[in-house]
Structure 1
Amino acid sequence: MTGLPNRRWFDRHLEAALELAEAEGRQIAVARLDLDSFKSVNDIFGQITGDRVLVEVAQRINALRRPSTMVARLGNDNFALILVEMTTEAAMQACGDVLTAAMRPSFDTKLGIVHLSASAGFAASRPGDTADTLFWARR
């Protein structure tokens, strides 16, 4: 629906990116984005409008990502980015830029304006991390 790769694709590419970064002595970063209370969008505006909002969020994220950044929709209202070939600080900035742009402006639909917020998580890899430990890191 969104045109973004799914969770299975993300898991494979995260593992490959982490292995390559480790072999080259570099870091990668992972950012997760969860749309807050998205169920209420479907409840109030309907699933068709909710789907359109998800598609627009995906388009906004995809439009802002750097060519080396990989983006996926993990499911429902969850998205993730794999940020490579940049410093941790640059990856954090890129994550913030994507989050801000994905949520603003609001979403103008036929049934009214949808205002969204999102929660995000960010982690930079450390030596010895696995894809799982990096994805679920609370750093």
Structure 2
Amino acid sequence: MSFDIPDDRRYLESHEWGHDDDGTVRVGITDFAQDELGDVVFVELPDEGDALTQEEQFGVIESIKAVSDLYAPVSGEVTAVNEALFDAPELVNDDPFGEGWMLEIDADDADELEALLSADEYEEQIA
């Protein structure tokens, strides 16, 4: 099976992605991760203003098959949370790189994102 892996993002081995837009990093989970989870039924996310540390847990995603922790691709302050997911968690399945985004972080250090897996490296990991 082929999965969507956009080149404009960086990836954690735990299947989260980060996309930098002038120091604000939008975060979500990958197409592979949502496929492995199955139908997402619940997402627990941090609050705006919370401080996150790279590769530490920031939330939980629950599907009909499993409950998984979510990990931050960068350190920084949460500046936005996708509240649409609270009422429609299936957006993560439908559009993991678009409407299914989870949060935005004001990154402390943009180099943290660059140190993560490229699209090609992530693709090798899930192959």
TM-score, length-scaled by structure 2: 0.29
> Highest Rg: 1 or 2?
1
Structure with the larger strand share:
2
Q: Which of 1 and 2 has higher RCO (CA within 8 Å, sep 6+)? A: 1
TM-score, length-scaled by structure 1: 0.27
